[in-house]
Amino acid sequence: MDLRYGMNPQQRSAIAAPVGPGRWPVRVLHGSPSYINMLDALNSWQLVSEASNALDRPAAASFKHVSPAGAAVAGPVDEVTAELNGVDRAAVGALTSAYLRARDADPKSSYGDFVAVSQPVDAELAELLTRLVCDGVIAPGYAPGTVAALSQKRGGRFLVMEADPAYVPPRQEAREVFGLRLTQERDEVVLSTALLDDVVCGTLPATAAEDLLLGLIVLRYTQSNSVCYLRGGATLGIGAGQQSRVDCTRLAGAKVDTWWLRRHPMVRALAFRPDVRLQDRINWQIRFIEGDLTAEEKVRLSEALSSPMPELTNEQRTSWLAALDEVAFVSDGALPFRDNVDHASRHGVRYIAEPGGSIRSAEVQDACREHQIALARTGLRLFHH
Q: State whether 131 and 218 are in the same domain.
A: no
* Number of alpha carbons in the 13 Å side-chain half-sphere of residue 168: 1
Active site residue 385: yes
> Is 10 within the bounds of a domain?
no
Encode the chain (385 residues) as per-residue pLDDT tens digits.
999 999 999 999 899 999 877 789 999 999 999 999 999 999 999 999 999 999 999 999 999 999 999 999 999 999 999 999 999 999 999 999 999 999 999 999 999 999 999 999 999 999 999 999 999 999 999 999 999 999 999 899 999 999 999 999 999 999 999 999 999 999 999 999 999 999 999 999 999 999 999 999 999 999 999 999 999 999 999 999 999 999 999 999 999 999 999 999 999 999 999 999 999 999 999 999 999 999 999 999 999 999 999 989 999 999 999 999 999 999 999 999 999 999 999 999 999 999 999 999 999 999 999 999 999 999 999 999 9
- Number of domains within the chain: 3
Residue 19 inside a domain? The answer is no
Q: Is residue 56 located within the same domain as residue 116?
A: yes
| Known catalytic residue at 64 | yes
Burial class of residue 239, CB neighbours in 10 A (0-12, 13-18, 19+): buried
pLDDT for 92 equals 97
Which of 168, 198, 216 is the C-terminal boundary of a domain?
168
Last residue of a domain, one of 133, 168, 203: 168
30 is catalytic: no
Nearest C-alpha neighbor of 138 from the set 151, 111, 156, 120? 120
- How is residue 272 annotated by DSSP? B
Q: Are 238 and 252 within 8 A, CB to CB?
A: yes
What pLDDT, in 10s, does the model give residues 10-30?
A: 999 899 999 877 789 999 999
- 200: which residues sit within 8 A by CB, 6+ positions away? 356, 365, 375, 376, 377
Residues 304 and 363 grouped into a single domain: no
Strand partners, 231: 234
| Domain contains 46 | yes
Name beta bridge partners: 60.
72, 117
Residue 152 counted as domain residue: yes
Residue 79 and residue 213 in one domain: no
DSSP-derived secondary structure letter, 121: B
DSSP conformational letter for 222:
S
Domain check: are 223 and 161 in the same one? no
Structural domain span for residue 270: 265-320
Do 310 and 363 lie in a common domain? no
Q: Is 342 among the domain residues?
A: yes
313 and 329 inside one domain: no
In eight-state DSSP terms, residue 46 is H
Q: For the purposes of burial, counting CB atoms within 10 Å of the CB of 12, is it exposed (0-12), middle (13-18) or buried (19 or more)?
A: exposed
Whether residue 201 is found in the same domain as residue 285: no
The rounded distance, in Å, linking the Cα atoms of 2 and 115 is: 22
User: Measuring CA to CA, which residue among 340, 368, 334 is closest to residue 354?
Assistant: 334
- 270 in the same domain as 241: no
Short-list 49, 38, 28, CA closest to 167? 49
pLDDT given for residue 358 in this prediction? 94
Distance CA(348)–CA(325), nearest Å, equals: 4
* d(C-alpha 323, C-alpha 260), whole Å: 9
Residues 6+ apart with CB under 8 A from 222: 67, 68, 228, 238, 240, 332, 384
Q: Does residue 355 belong to any structural domain of this protein?
A: yes
Instruction: Please identify, among 304, 320, 336, the residue that sits at the C-terminal boundary of a domain.
Output: 320
Total Cβ atoms within 10 A of residue 203: 8
d(CA 75, CA 307): 34
In-domain check, residue 353: yes
CB-count burial class (<10 Å; 0-12, 13-18, 19+) for 206 = exposed
**Whether residue 107 sits in one domain with residue 39:** yes
Rg (CA), the chain: 21
Q: Could you tell me the CATH number of the domain that includes residue 359?
A: 3.40.140.20
Of the candidates 320, 342, 365, the residue with the CA atom closest to the CA atom of residue 250: 342
Residue-level pLDDT at 22: 75
pLDDT at position 135, please? Answer: 96
Interatomic CA distance for residues 276 and 305, integer angstroms? 9
* Catalytic residue of the set 37, 43, 85, 225: 225
Query: Any catalytic annotation for residue 153?
Result: no
Q: How far apart are CA 161 and CA 34, in angstroms?
A: 12
Whether 307 is in a domain gets the answer yes
Residues 303 and 372 in one domain: no
- Choice among 30, 64, 264, 371 that is catalytic: 64
Q: What is the rounded distance in angstroms from the CA atom of residue 189 to the CA atom of residue 203?
A: 25
> What's the rounded Cα separation, in Å, for the pair 53 and 311?
45
Q: Both 142 and 286 in a single domain?
A: no
Name the nearest CA neighbour of 56 among 70, 74, 42: 74
pLDDT at residue 21, as a whole number: 77
2 in Cβ contact with 14 (< 8 Å):
yes
